[in-house]
Amino acid sequence: MPADANLNKTVLHVFKIMDALNAADNSLGVSELTRVTGLPKTTVFRLLGTLEHVHAVTATPNQQYQIGPKLLAYAKSADHQNSLVKVALPFMKEFAATTHENINIGILYENQVLYLHSEEGEQFSLQVNLFPVAPLYCSSMGKIFLTSFSNPELTQYLSQTTLKRRTVNTLTNDEQIRNELQKITQTGLSYDNEEYEYGLTCIAVPLYKDKELIAAASVSGPTSRLKVRGWEYIQDSIVEFGETLSSIL
């Protein structure tokens, strides 16, 4: 049996097209892509239509194709992940070993929190539910990112987002969220007080590079355990982590 017998041919064809567009100095038309990839013209045309629909490619008025914003966003996320995680990892490991609590870092991506990495302190089964994305309005890191929105951007986000009540503590109206964001702006600390999931509390801080908000970090764990360890200790620990990492970035 050939080594590639179980591979999906459509996916392979898509990446032939993407590789051709990535290697080209300029945008390419269907005929040129057909020649470069060796695929049937009908296949190239059909796949380009789908790729354009999901914004993986964009077309000029004369039907010349180039890499689209979706792929550029993926590249940006990958760059964030590689650089942030590389710098943050030793400090995350130290945090988890010292506090015995879970620590996470994430970035803003398409109005959601995209979790890049987590280091586990003591095992906590709810931790798996944090990955890979979370809403902005009911997560501690998400609220950090919302503080960076301009008033028009925040208004647009709130008008376009279904504020689903995940628990009795979830903030589900504009006024509650705006008041919460004012507090976060003043203190530099953001809380998820069992708003995303019962039994789970998170405390987040911003991460800056050259005074620009690029990511957030959060400590997460069972509410009862964090309470026993001491809120002030946990808060001070995550604040110190954020300040240390931001100074290095």
- Name the band, by pLDDT with cuts 50, 70 and 90, for residue 215: very high
Rounded Cα gap, residues 77 and 71, in angstroms: 10
Q: Please, which residues have CB within 8 angstroms of residue 16's CB and are 6 or more apart in sequence?
A: 37, 38, 39
pLDDT of residue 75: 67
pLDDT at 3 over 60: no
Q: Please, which residues have CB within 8 angstroms of residue 230's CB and are 6 or more apart in sequence?
A: none
Q: 3-class DSSP state for residue 174?
A: helix
Read off the DSSP letter of residue 166: -
Query: Can you give the pTM of this predicted structure?
Result: 0.68
pLDDT at 124 over 60: no
pLDDT at 127 over 80: no
* Residues 173/197, Cβ–Cβ less than 8 Å: no
* Residues 91/241, Cβ–Cβ less than 8 Å: yes
Which of 110-119, 121-130, 165-174, 196-205 has the lowest average pLDDT?
121-130
pLDDT at 76 over 80: no
pLDDT of residue 129: 45
- Name the band, by pLDDT with cuts 50, 70 and 90, for residue 78: low
pLDDT at 35 over 80: yes
| Bond from prior residue into 206 cis (ω within 30 degrees of 0) | no
What is the tens place of the pLDDT at every residue in 144-200? 999 999 999 999 999 999 999 999 999 999 999 999 999 999 999 999 999 999 999
What is the tens place of the pLDDT at every residue in 44-71? 999 999 999 988 898 888 899 988 877 7
pLDDT of residue 1: 37
pLDDT of residue 128: 40
Mean pLDDT of 108-131: 73
Question: For 32-139, where are the E strands, in sequence order?
Answer: 57-59, 65-67, 102-109, 112-119, 133-134
pLDDT of residue 82: 67
The CA-CA-CA angle for residues 177, 238, 234, to 5°, reads 95
Q: Please report the domains of the chain, with CATH numbers, ordered by start residue.
A: 9-67 (1.10.10.10), 75-248 (3.30.450.40)
- Name the band, by pLDDT with cuts 50, 70 and 90, for residue 133: confident
CA distances from 46 to 13, 30, 40, 43 (A): 11, 10, 10, 5
